[in-house]
Amino acid sequence: MTGAGPSGPVIGILDLQGDVREHLAALRDIGCSDVRLVKRPADLVGLDGLILPGGESTTLSMLLESTGLFEAIAERVPPGSGSSPDAGALPALPVLGTCAGLVLVAREVQDGRPDQRTFGALDAVVRRNGYGRQVQSFEADVVLSAGAGTALPTVFIRAPMVLSVGPEVEVLAEHEGVPVLVRQGLILACAFHPELTPDRRVHRMFVDMCGTNRRVLPEPTPGVAADLLGASEAL
């Protein structure tokens, strides 16, 4: 299943700061017709997936708090895989975190600000700016461990480095022995910026995750309670 067509999943992009426009262009490239910009908690309603873009994670954290989006997203992105929410809880929301977005979903952040909060949904320890300052920022081709295919062109910009991952985390790509693209349940995260290169495989993978998840767990809006019950039985 792909994200193409009007019946594809509804993807939100956190639009507080960062390279929102590039993610928007990437989603359009692969035929996502319903993309929404998320600036406040109400914008999360009806989403099948959320992208946390690149930007400055300290700035994003502050703006997430002041808008109330931090709590609203945290409710939908529980620690661990997020694939088995409690009964009665809102269905978990698939998240793609790129660069700063990886920092925001990680369980533990080193060299961040002491008051920096994260969603902690991804069982990983990351170090902010782990690859160094801007003059050390780089481009590289990385090999995807699953599904093979050609190497993925990537751009790392003052990127966070994944220092360790928990047993539930799947490493989808490494660069020089360090995980750079990881997945745990509904969380997909990368240290690089798939939105800055023309290769759309990471966005496609995410949109597929969102589409699959939506079929399993539809949004429980009041009007579609019956559908939700039907879906639960299907589980």
Partner 1 sequence: MTTTGTFTVKRGLADMLRGGVVMDVVNAEQAKIAEDAGAVSVMALERVPADIRRDGGVARMSDPVLIEGIIEAVTIPVMAKARIGHFAEAQVLQSLGVDFIDESEVLTPADEAYHIDKWPFAVPFVCGATNLGEALRRLSEGAAMIRSKGEAGTGNIVEAVRHLRSITGSIRAITQADPAELYGWAKELGAPIGLVQELHSTGQLPVPLFCAGGIATPADAALVMQLGAEAVFVGSGIFKSSDPKRMASAIVEATAHYQDPQHVAKVSRGLGEAMRGLEASQYGEHLADRGW
Q: Which of residues 205-234 bind partner 1 (CB under 8 A)?
A: none
Question: Which residue, 83, 106, 218, is CA-closest to 163?
Answer: 106
CB of 235 to partner 1, least distance (A): 39
157 binds partner 1 (CB under 8 A): yes
Q: Could you identify the residue written with the tokens 């990983």?
A: 124
The span from the CA of 109 to the CA of 118, in Å, is: 8
Candidate residues 9, 55, 130, 185; the one interacting with partner 1 per rule CB under 8 A: 55
135 binds partner 1 (CB under 8 A): yes
136 binds partner 1 (CB under 8 A): yes
In the set 99, 175, 190, 210, the catalytic residue is 99
16 binds partner 1 (CB under 8 A): yes
The span from the CA of 38 to the CA of 148, in Å, is: 33
Looking at beta carbons only, is 133 or 234 nearer to partner 1? 133
- DSSP β-bridge partners for residue 152: 142
Q: Could you identify the residue written with the tokens 């954290």?
A: 61
In the set 23, 32, 175, 193, the catalytic residue is 193
Beta strands in the chain (DSSP E): 11-14, 35-38, 49-52, 95-98, 106-110, 122-127, 138-144, 152-156, 161-165, 170-175, 178-184, 187-190
Is residue 190 annotated as part of the catalytic site, yes or no?
A: no
Is residue 168 annotated as part of the catalytic site, yes or no?
A: no
Give Cβ neighbours of residue 54 (< 8 Å, ≥ 6 apart): 18, 19, 98, 99, 100, 101, 157, 193, 195
Is residue 174 annotated as part of the catalytic site, yes or no?
A: no
Question: Which residue, 92, 96, 70, is CA-closest to 12?
Answer: 96
Q: Which of residues 62-121 bind partner 1 (CB under 8 A)?
A: 62-63, 66, 99-100, 111-113
193 binds partner 1 (CB under 8 A): yes
Looking at beta carbons only, is 103 or 169 nearer to partner 1? 103
Candidate residues 1, 2, 5, 21; the one interacting with partner 1 per rule CB under 8 A: 21
In the set 22, 175, 190, 195, the catalytic residue is 195
Q: Which residues are catalytic?
A: 99, 193, 195
Binding site for partner 1 (CB under 8 A): 15-22, 39, 54-56, 58-59, 62-63, 66, 99-100, 111-113, 128-129, 133-141, 155-158, 175, 193, 196-197
